[in-house]
A and B are shown apart, each in its own frame.
Chain A
Amino acid sequence: DGGITQSPKYLFRKEGQNVTLSCEQNLNHDAMYWYRQDPGQGLRLIYYSQIVNDFQKGDIAEGYSVSREKKESFPLTVTSAQKNPTAFYLCASSSFRGADTQYFGPGTRLTVL
């Protein structure tokens, strides 16, 4: 898991609620990413940020929002607009160079009740 922490490990949400997943890294990495993992599918990119105060949509950004106010932190908010939010969410970071290895956090499992 390296120097990336995610919290909480498990999260339960009622329909219609927004929830925020935390991701912190102490690797001094410029780039951070959020992925969603569903059974039988490869990881899908939600949002990524290559520098503080800047972020870009990934392939499945609808219903999600992020912020990057600090280099170390990249929280993900799952909004009520996300129709199927139950999944395993992974945060990752890498140095600014795009081809570098991404280091992943331990993940957060979100379940909608």
Chain B
Amino acid sequence: KNQVEQSPQSLIILEGKNCTLQCNYTVSPFSNLRWYKQDTGRGPVSLTIMTFSENTKSNGRYTATLDADTKQSSLHITASQLSDSASYICVVTPGGNTGTASKLTFGTGTRLQVTL
């Protein structure tokens, strides 16, 4: 069964500090992996997308890494800001053709709180 597990479930950090969120998946074959940011009561917004051949992808202070061999990804946030407080969701798309859009596997997310 395809699964995506994220850790930690929740995290509290001080403003200005860095943090790293983890995502482990069992989806196979694999097409791509996305990280989404979801503010409370809002829809998720895409941060990064990586295919199996990419090791790292940055979007401002967000840097995602991917190790397709170990089926692990991480999202590193640099110099955190209060606005980074949100849930971060890892989403994996399986490989193949027809119907991949319907087969996304979503992680349960990591809830990040940035405090003063």
Q: Do A and B come from one complex?
A: yes
Whether A104 and B43, one on each chain, are in contact in the complex, defined by CB atoms closer than 8 angstroms, is yes
Which one of A13-21, A42-50, A62-70, A76-84 is at the B interface? A42-50
Chain B residue with Cβ nearest A9: B41
Whether A101 and B49, one on each chain, are in contact in the complex, defined by CB atoms closer than 8 angstroms, is yes
Q: Is B115 on the interface with A (CB-CB < 8 A)?
A: no
The count of residues in chain B whose C-beta lies closer than 8 Å to any C-beta of chain A is 26
Whether A1 and B42, one on each chain, are in contact in the complex, defined by CB atoms closer than 8 angstroms, is yes
Q: Is B79 on the interface with A (CB-CB < 8 A)?
A: no
Q: Is B26 on the interface with A (CB-CB < 8 A)?
A: no
Query: Contacts A1-B42, A99-B101, A104-B44; is A42 near B49 (CB within 8 Å)?
Result: no
Whether A109 and B101, one on each chain, are in contact in the complex, defined by CB atoms closer than 8 angstroms, is no
Q: Which residues of A (35-94) have their CB < 8 Å from a CB of B? A: 40-45, 48, 50, 56, 58, 88, 90, 92, 94
Whether B42 and A107, one on each chain, are in contact in the complex, defined by CB atoms closer than 8 angstroms, is yes
Taken residue by residue from 76 to 116, chain B's Cβ proximity to chain A (1 for < 8 Å, 0 otherwise) reads as 00000000000001000100011111101111110000000
- Residues of B at the A interface (CB closer than 8 Å) are 4, 31-32, 34, 36, 41-46, 49, 89, 93, 97-102, 104-109
| 8 contacting pairs across A/B (C-beta < 8 A) | A42-B89, A92-B43, A98-B102, A101-B46, A101-B49, A102-B101, A104-B45, A106-B42
- Kindly list the 7 A-B residue pairs having the minimum CB-CB distance in the complex, ordered from nearest: A104-B43, A42-B106, A98-B101, A98-B100, A43-B106, A42-B108, A104-B44
